Amino acid sequence: METDKKSFKKLFPHLSKELELEDSKVAINSVRTDSEAAEEATSDKFRHYNPTVVDFIRRCDTETEAEAIIAYLEKRGELTPEYAKALRQQLKKEGVRSFGAKKEENYYFKQGGLC
């Protein structure tokens, strides 16, 4: 399907805007034709990483947001009631930043050297 820029903007306004913004571009520093070598060369820091409840809480700005995260994960059975209670106690007593500094947008990209 061939399309011009104007039609693309009309069909996909948000995607078009993202493509035009400078901050959404990623530099390509090299090209590899061997896929196995390419996989070995990538950063493994967060490969197969599964964020914990604390990772999610560290993205929160308020205690209310953190409480919602705890309640959601407890409801899904990803937290035991005992661990959820301990998290709530820490949250109430010491605040949301007691879990660590706030993880800003693109945290994992920056830590992985991709940004």
pLDDT digits (tens, 9 = 90+) for 43-62: 566 666 778 899 899 999 99
For residue 47 the two structure tokens come to 């490969």
Residues 33 and 81 in one domain: no
Domain count, the chain: 2
Residues 30 and 62 in one domain: no
Helices (H), 4-52: 5-11, 13-20, 35-41
Residues 57 and 101 in one domain: yes
Residues 31 and 62 in one domain: no
In a domain, 46, yes or no: no
Residues 66 and 102 in one domain: yes
The answer to whether the beta carbons of residues 46 and 108 sit under 8 Å apart is yes
Domain interval for residue 65 = 53-111
Please, which pLDDT band fits residue 30 given cuts at 50, 70 and 90? low
Residues 37 and 78 in one domain: no
Res 90: pLDDT: 95
Residues 90 and 68 in one domain: yes
